[in-house]
């Protein structure tokens, strides 16, 4: 078994869109105001051309099985980026790969000069929320920035 974590490529777009939409559907979180309806979900590599962002893809034996990134979401506080589009296929879960992606994102965020990392989630993704808490994220009372994800009602932040 060969596992690789690498930056996103344009050839990943279709598979990552499929991954994100299938996971949101699996957890019945495929609702308006989520990444499921983001037009950008279909061309993530273009989104992450922003020099203050990065997106990591996990491959196993050459197949995309997960990914996650950081992005300077509009109107976030100074020095804060957002952990975005962190999704794993079911076969990739429970193997430490979510943690591995988050660790890569934390390192990238520090290298890009960020001091805090913010995320948005929802109760349907309670397994992910538990993982975020174990990784040092703390819940907030309201959203930060302008992600457009009005379907999310869990907001968390971590000091890097």
Residue with tokens 């078994």: 1
Cα angle for residues 94, 28, 122 (degrees, 5° grid): 75
Q: What is the pLDDT of residues 147-160, one digit of tens each?
A: 888 778 999 999 99
Chain mean position to CA 119:
8
**8 Å CB contact between 156 and 140:** yes
pLDDT in tens, 15-65: 999 999 999 999 998 888 788 888 888 999 999 999 999 999 999 999 999
pLDDT value of position 48: 96
Instruction: Output the pLDDT for position 16.
Output: 96
Query: In the chain, what are the domain boundaries?
Result: 3-159
Q: So what's the pLDDT on residue 77? A: 96
Please state, rounded to an integer, the average pLDDT across all residues of the chain: 94
Instruction: Give the pLDDT score at 54.
Output: 98
Residue-wise pLDDT for 68-121, tens only, equals 999 999 999 999 999 999 999 999 999 999 999 999 999 999 999 999 999 999
Is a pLDDT exceeding 90 seen at residue 9? yes
State residue 95's pLDDT score.
94
According to the model, what pLDDT value does residue 96 have?
94
What is the distance between the alpha carbons of residues 33 and 47, in angstroms, rounded to a whole number?
Answer: 18
Span 82-96, pLDDT tens digits? 999 999 999 999 999
Return the CATH fold of 3-159. Aminopeptidase (3.40.630)
Query: How far from each other are the two terminal CA atoms of the chain, in whole angstroms?
Result: 32
**Alpha-carbon distances, residue 30 vs 6, 27, 95, 130 (angstroms):** 27, 8, 25, 20
- Give the 3-state secondary structure of residue 139: strand
Copy the structure tokens of residue 58: 């996990």
Torsion, Cα 131 33 118 44, to 10 degrees, reads 90
């Amino acid at each position: 078994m060969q596992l690789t974590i690498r930056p996103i490529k344009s050839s990943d777009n279709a598979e990552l869109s499929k991954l994100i939409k299938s996971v949101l559907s699996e957890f019945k979180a495929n609702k308006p105001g989520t990444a499921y309806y983001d037009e950008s979900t279909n061309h993530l590599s273009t989104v992450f051309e922003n020099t203050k962002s990065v997106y990591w893809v996990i491959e196993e034996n050459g197949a995309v099985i997960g990914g996650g990134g950081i992005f300077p979401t509009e109107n976030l506080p100074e020095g804060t980026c957002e952990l975005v589009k962190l999704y794993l296929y079911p076969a990739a879960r429970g193997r430490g790969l979510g943690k591995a992606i988050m660790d890569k994102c934390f390192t990238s965020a520090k290298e890009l000069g960020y001091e805090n990392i913010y995320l948005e989630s929802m109760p349907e993704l309670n397994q992910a929320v538990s993982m975020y808490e174990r990784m040092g994220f703390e819940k907030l009372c309201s959203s930060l920035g302008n992600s457009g994800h009005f379907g999310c009602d869990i907001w968390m932040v971590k000091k890097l």
